[in-house]
């Protein structure tokens, strides 16, 4: 029987309708948490809720466009309305964004990826933190990327946003550690999720070649790190960035 790390606790996952977010929501539930599954895609989000319920878990779906501060506030309010508390959050929602060299990237493309991948993490934490503090503490895990440490051609907005997520996480981790809230960032390498399904075989092979382990990562492998960072097993871990990247950053 799986250890119940989060019995009677409540976890919120954004971008939980597919990929890493879905895997994280499912794993929180397996460890006993009540889960708020949030996504902009209603159909995908409700599908994940059904998976959790079929496995005996407790979950609710709340639609949210994380690029809007008022929707992030509503998301936390709905969490409290459903379950009366918030203990853990994984701010995972994100997009790849416009692919172009810096000089050719559109202003709209830049603004969109910064809003969804960076500003949203600030908005979510702004409203999550007071709720978590009311319970005496908890944990937040923000989804950064290997591109939160290095650049990547034609990904200026994405890389800048993910670098920002790391800095925001380190700052918040320092600010709230004494109040019982641990805040960390995870940096996945290229993960075999729906985000990469549009790539042709040659492009995918190129990405694989950048990971010394010889393959892309799996969403479940990232979720395991999120769960560990959320749990009391990581009680002295905060304000840090943890890559899960098949040694991508080592070469």
| b/e map 128-164, b = 16+ CB within 10 Å | bbebbeeeeebbbbbbbbbbbbeeeeebbbbbbbbbb
CB count within 10 Å of CB 27 equals: 24
Among the listed residues 186, 114, 199, 188, the one whose alpha carbon sits nearest the alpha carbon of residue 155: 114
Helix (H), strand (E), coil (C) string for 55-123: CCCCEEEEECCCCCHHHHHHHHHHHHHHHCCCCEEEECCCCCCCCECHHHCCHHHHHHHHHHHHHHHHH
158 catalytic residue (yes or no): yes
Residue of 158, 176, 241, 248 marked active site? 158
Any residues with CB less than 8 A from the CB of 158 and at least 6 apart, and which?
A: 96, 97, 113, 117, 145, 147, 152
Query: Which residue in this structure is represented by tokens 């990247």?
Result: 245
d(CA 43, CA 251): 40
Enumerate the active-site residues: 158
């Amino acid at each position: 029987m799986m250890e119940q790390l989060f019995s009677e606790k409540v976890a919120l996952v954004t971008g939980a309708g597919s990929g890493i977010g879905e895997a994280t929501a499912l794993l929180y539930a397996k460890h006993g948490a009540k889960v708020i599954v949030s996504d902009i895609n209603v159909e995908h989000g409700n599908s994940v809720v059904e998976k959790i319920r079929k496995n005996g878990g407790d979950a609710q779906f709340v639609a949210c466009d994380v690029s809007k501060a008022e929707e992030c506030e509503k998301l936390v309010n709905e969490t409290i309305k459903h379950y009366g508390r918030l203990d853990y959050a994984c701010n995972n929602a994100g997009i790849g964004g416009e692919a172009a060299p810096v000089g050719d990237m559109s202003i709209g493309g830049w603004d969109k990826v910064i809003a969804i991948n960076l500003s949203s993490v600030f908005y979510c934490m702004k409203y999550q933190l007071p709720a978590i503090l009311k319970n005496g503490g908890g944990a937040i895990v923000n989804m950064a990327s290997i591109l939160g440490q290095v650049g990547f051609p034609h990904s200026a907005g994405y890389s800048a946003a993910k670098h920002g997520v790391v800095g925001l996480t380190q700052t918040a981790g320092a600010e709230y550690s004494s109040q019982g809230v641990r805040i960390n960032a995870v940096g996945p390498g290229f993960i075999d999720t729906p985000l990469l399904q549009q790539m042709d075989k040659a492009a995918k092979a190129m990405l694989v070649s950048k990971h010394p382990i010889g393959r892309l990562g799996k969403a479940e492998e990232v979720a395991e790190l999120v769960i560990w960072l959320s749990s009391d097993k990581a009680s002295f871990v905060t304000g840090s960035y943890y890559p899960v990247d098949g040694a991508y950053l080592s070469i």
